[in-house]
């Protein structure tokens, strides 16, 4: 294992801003794994830390292929992570909306350029990322349906779901999109949580990457059992929206099989405690996403369901 500085900005009054990477193996650039890019992505950082530990063990045991290189970058925004602020502390900009970056631009553009210049030539790219809304997911892989990536490769993670998502205008400034412009097969990996650590889904994510690496001959890692994956589109997800604002109280858990008409959550008046609204399942299916903040607003998609086949 080689620990290296991927990018650095010299600090005038405090310690320098550094992005650290961990490199395994030697040879062609096979796989790059990127962790937290936002200050509340603690779970994403934790997943990468567990991967660094596992790949170090595999390297010591001689189980990493001799002709490939794997790079893991656990955190791309340590300043924001230190103070638990989601975006860049100075101007509240999102590094993952600044790619491919600009080395003479604003600070976050320079950071994006510093990262991307080091990782754009890898064959495969995996990003541990988070949703724009706070909430919990069923672990899954996401890929852009108009990108360079392919379904067959996405299935090699062995996670329960692969979600093909429609490319939107803001995607053109994300790491995933720009990786694919430079011919990297890129995938976003979602675990259950973001701002808190969930060891079970983190372990599931680590195993999924080991499966992926084994299927491509990057590492020797054998695991028994089948891991069926269902392919869905983001358009297949059925949203349940609120009509009222108030305290959000979920009544079911992510991953549960639910029947049409099941009570999913209640919206409670924050002053007098009365139930203002009950949200019901519009169909049979699996609860894929659940809003996690204690407060919600009206007309918000707080629940997403995968319709039963």
**For residue 176, is it left (φ>0), alpha (ψ between -120 and 50) or beta?**
alpha
Domain boundary among 210, 228, 246: 228
> Do 217 and 77 belong to one domain?
yes
- Please state the rounded mean pLDDT for residues 6-12: 89
**17-67: pLDDT as tens digits:** 999 999 999 999 999 999 999 999 999 999 999 999 999 999 999 999 999
Total number of domains constituting the chain: 2
Threshold 0.85, pTM exceeds: yes
pLDDT at residue 145, rounded to an integer: 81
pLDDT at residue 146, rounded to an integer: 74
- Please state the rounded mean pLDDT for residues 173-187: 95
> Do 155 and 240 belong to one domain?
no
**Which CATH number covers residue 112?**
3.40.630.10
> Do 70 and 9 belong to one domain?
yes
Q: Which residue has the tokens 């790619």?
A: 99
> Do 144 and 289 belong to one domain?
no
Domain boundary among 228, 258, 285: 228
* Residue partners of 254: CB distance under 8 A and separation at least 6: 136, 137, 138, 192, 287, 288, 289, 290
Residue 72: pLDDT band by 50, 70, 90 thresholds? very high
> Do 252 and 157 belong to one domain?
no
13 pLDDT more than 90: no
> Do 83 and 105 belong to one domain?
yes
**91-121: pLDDT as tens digits:** 999 999 999 999 999 999 999 999 999 999 9
> Do 128 and 255 belong to one domain?
no
- Please state the rounded mean pLDDT for residues 198-219: 96
Q: Name the token pair of 224.
A: 């028994």
Lowest mean per-residue pLDDT among 134-148, 178-192, 284-298: 134-148
Which CA distances in Å does 212 have to 108, 180, 274, 303?
31, 18, 49, 30
Q: Report the mean per-residue pLDDT for the chain.
A: 94
pLDDT at residue 14, rounded to an integer: 77
> Do 169 and 51 belong to one domain?
yes
> Do 164 and 279 belong to one domain?
no
**157-167: pLDDT as tens digits:** 999 999 999 88
Assess contact for 1 and 55: CB atoms under 8 A.
yes
**130-149: pLDDT as tens digits:** 988 889 999 999 998 877 78
Cα R_g (the chain), whole angstroms: 20
Lowest mean per-residue pLDDT among 227-231, 271-275, 300-304: 227-231
**Which CATH number covers residue 261?**
2.40.50.100
Which of 62, 80, 73 lies closest to 3 in space, CA to CA? 73
- Domain extent, residue 246, equals 236-307
């Amino acid at each position: 294992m080689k620990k290296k500085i991927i990018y650095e900005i010299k600090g005038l009054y405090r310690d320098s801003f550094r992005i650290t990477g961990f490199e395994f193996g030697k040879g062609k650039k096979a796989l790059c794994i990127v962790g937290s890019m936002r200050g509340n992505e603690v779970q994403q950082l934790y997943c990468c830390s567990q991967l660094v530990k596992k790949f170090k063990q595999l390297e010591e045991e001689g189980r990493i292929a001799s002709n490939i290189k794997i790079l893991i970058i656990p955190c791309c925004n340590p300043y924001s992570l230190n103070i638990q602020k989601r975006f860049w502390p100075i101007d509240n900009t999102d590094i993952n909306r600044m790619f491919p970056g600009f080395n003479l631009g604003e600070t976050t553009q320079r950071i994006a350029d510093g990262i991307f210049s080091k990782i754009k030539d890898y064959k495969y790219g995996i990003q541990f990322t988070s949703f724009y809304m706070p909430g919990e997911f069923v672990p899954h892989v996401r890929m852009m349906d108009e990108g360079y990536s392919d379904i067959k490769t996405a299935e090699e993670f062995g996670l329960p779901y692969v979600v093909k998502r429609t490319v939107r205008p803001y995607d053109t400034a994300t790491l995933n999109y720009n990786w694919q412009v430079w011919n990297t097969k890129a995938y976003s990996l979602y675990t259950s949580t973001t701002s808190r650590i969930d060891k079970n889904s983190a372990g599931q994510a680590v195993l999924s990457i080991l499966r992926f690496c084994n299927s491509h001959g990057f590492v020797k890692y054998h695991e028994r059992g089948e891991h069926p994956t269902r392919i869905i589109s983001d358009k297949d997800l059925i949203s349940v929206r609120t009509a009222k604002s108030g305290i959000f109280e979920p009544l079911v858990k992510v991953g549960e099989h639910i029947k049409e008409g099941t009570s999913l959550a209640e919206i409670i008046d924050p002053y007098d405690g009365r139930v203002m609204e009950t949200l019901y399942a519009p169909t049979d299916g699996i609860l894929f996403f659940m809003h996690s903040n204690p407060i919600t607003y009206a007309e918000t998609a707080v629940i997403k369901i995968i319709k039963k086949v």
